[in-house]
Structure 1
Amino acid sequence: MASSKRIGKELVDLTKEPVDGITVEPKENNIYKWTAKIQGPPNSPYAGGTFLVDMDFPIEYPFKSPKVRFNTRIYHPNIDEGGNLCVGILKSEAWKPSTKAVTILLSILQLLEEPNPDDALIASVAKLYNTDRAKFNKTAEEYAKKYASA
């Protein structure tokens, strides 16, 4: 299958040229299911946290985007309580077969650094982010300490 070859190559590339703050490994030796460990960016309220993210690649990859879900609870306007996230490149209308897993992971890292309250999954968190950044940061830091500690 072309998808397994592409996914395998992307995994090898990420192993050979790792991205700072991100490690990836297949789950249960299944090339279609990855677990990523994403370190909270140092310039964010998530600093010091380690966030586990599942990536499930469909057989149709790269023509269909992988399903990406946070396994670690996080206080973020673009990530809901179930770990679903709202990041533009994963939306079906924006997905391009040329998009690689590393680009998705970098987009998630960027989202941790700079939430996008205009495309929020949790309106109340987005509102707090826009109106009281100090309170938002304090709550996000508390979640990171409580749920994302190594």
Structure 2
Amino acid sequence: MEENQEKLEKSLKIPGNILKEQALAAEFVEVCRAPIDGIFVSPSANNKFLWFGVIFVRKGIFGGGIFRFNIHIPLEFPDASDLPRVIFEQSNLFHPLICTKSKELCLNRSFPEGWKKEKHSLRRVLVVLQRSFYSYDVDTDKCINPEASVLYKEHRDKFREIAKECVEASRSMVYDELAEQEHDPNGIRLLPWDALTHKAAREKMLQIGDNSRFQGTAADFRREHIFSKMGLQVSEIVGKSYPNSYSWFDPAEMTVITKYDDVDLSQVNPSDSARLDREKHGIEPLDLGNLN
């Protein structure tokens, strides 16, 4: 009798689990369909209530930063009233909206009434995360890190100096293996640039992004990547532009890899030749001296 009761209870729990999994899957699909510039996330394979993430900050005081974070989703999601928790991996991240001790991003200002499943989404959380690195003009008494807020308002140069240190620290540890992701097949692993491994994939990303010649599927992309590993020639990039969504950073050299357009070097001033040579090989210096 007890055994039957146990089976009944388990069967009653299954629909709820399925609904949660479907809700989480729908959230991830929304992010994939409308990606947020500079942010990449990956749901954990071992814990469905955990998302791994990384944000590439493209400009501003924290421009050039590559900050890893985790999103901890309430177990009652999507019916939870508690907010998801966004916790950064970097220990020395100094920001008005990030707790010094827990490294948690304060979401209360953006979700004052708590989580409302009918109006909120995890994509919205990511939007708030992105904007937090471009706008921090908030009241000191409402900031989770009031010291950072005061410094930003009253001693901007000192704040820039500390922010730059945070950026440099983030880039120095970008290839580090994180313990929480080490045994997770969905963990986000960033690797140094390897032309044999990455060049073909990068070219295909630029080609897809150009949106002029290639309209292939993800399967097409994977198949051509496999072909390139076999030594087959990848078609040249066409078009004049590509979306800013694709960035390739080399933290060791503090550079960002960019697209190269052929230039007649004989028509270029000698002072520009070194820059063009770097561009020819796919890298361009990332200037951290003009942060504002």
Name the TM tier (shorter chain): 0.7 to 0.9
Contact 1:24 1:34 in 2 (8 A): yes
Distance 1:56 1:101 in 2: 11
Q: How far is the alpha carbon of 1:53 from its aligned partner? A: 1.3
Q: How far is the alpha carbon of 1:148 from its aligned partner? A: 4.3
Distance 2:168 2:111 in 1: 28
Name stretches of at least 5 consecutive residues in structure 2 with no aligned partner: 1-16, 175-292
Contact 1:4 1:32 in 2 (8 A): no
Where in structure 2 are the equivalents of 1:19-98 lying within 5 Å?
19-42=36-59, 44-64=60-80, 65-73=83-91, 74-81=93-100, 82-87=102-107, 88-90=109-111, 93-97=113-117, 98=119
For residues 102-139 of structure 1, the C-alpha deviation after alignment (integer angstroms, 9 at most, x for no partner) is: 11011011111011431211221111111011211121
Contact 2:53 2:69 in 1 (8 A): yes
1:110 maps to 131
- 2:29 partner letter: V
For residues 12-42 of structure 1, the C-alpha deviation after alignment (integer angstroms, 9 at most, x for no partner) is: 2222332210111012443211011111141
- 1:103 partner letter: R
3-state secondary structure, aligned to 2:132: helix
* Worse-matched range after superposition: 22-31 or 50-59: 22-31
- 1:13 partner letter: E
Q: Greater strand share, 1 or 2? A: 1
* Worse-matched range after superposition: 28-37 or 106-115: 28-37
TM-score (norm 2): 0.47
3-state secondary structure, aligned to 2:42: strand
Contact 1:41 1:112 in 2 (8 A): no
Name stretches of at least 5 consecutive residues in structure 1 with no aligned partner: none
Identity percentage over the alignment?
26
- When the two structures are aligned, how many residues end up with a matched partner? 148
TM-score (norm 1): 0.87
1:11 maps to 28
- 1:80 partner letter: C
Q: How far is the alpha carbon of 1:144 from its aligned partner? A: 1.3
Contact 2:49 2:72 in 1 (8 A): yes
2:224 maps to none
1:146 maps to 169
User: In 2 relative to 1, CA 54–90 (structure 1 residues): closer, same or farther, beyond 3 Å?
Assistant: farther
Distance 2:111 2:90 in 1: 19
User: In 2 relative to 1, CA 62–22 (structure 1 residues): closer, same or farther, beyond 3 Å?
Assistant: same
Q: Are 2:145 and 1:122 aligned?
A: yes
- 2:84 partner letter: P
Distance 2:88 2:111 in 1: 14
Distance 2:62 2:57 in 1: 5
3-state secondary structure, aligned to 1:31: coil
